[in-house]
Structure 1
Amino acid sequence: MTRNTATSIGFVAVLLWALLALFTAGSEPVPPFLLNAMTFTIASIIGVIWVLARGRVSVLRPVPWTIYAFGTAGLFGYHALYYSALRLAPPAEAGLIAYLWPLLIVLFSGLLPGERLRTGHIVGALVSFGGAALIVSRGGLSLESAATPGLILAAFCALTWSSYSVLSRRMDDTPTEVVTVYCIATAILSVPAHLAFETTVWPDSNIAWLSVLALGLGPVGLAFYVWDIGVKRGDIQLLGVASYAAPLLSTLVLIAAGIAQVSWQLLVAAVLISFGAGIAAMASRDS
Structure 2
Amino acid sequence: MNGDLGDFLRSRRARIRPEEVGLASYGRRRVPGLRREEVAQLAGVSVDYYIRLEQGRGPGGPSRTKSGGVSDAVLDAIARVLRLDEEEHAYLYAVARPNKKRERRAASRVRPGIRALLDGMGHTPAFVLGPAMDVLAWNALADALSGFGGMTAAGRSMPRQVFLDPASRELYPEWSAVAAQTVANLRICAGRHPEDPALCALVGELSVKSEDFRRLWADHQVKECAYGVKRMRHPVAGLLTLPYETLTIPTDPDQTLVVYTPEPGSETAERLALLGSWAGARA
TM band (smaller chain): under 0.3
Give the greater-gyration-radius structure (CA).
Answer: 2
TM-score (norm 1): 0.27
TM-score (norm 2): 0.27
Q: Which has the higher helix share?
A: 1
Q: Which has the higher strand share?
A: 2
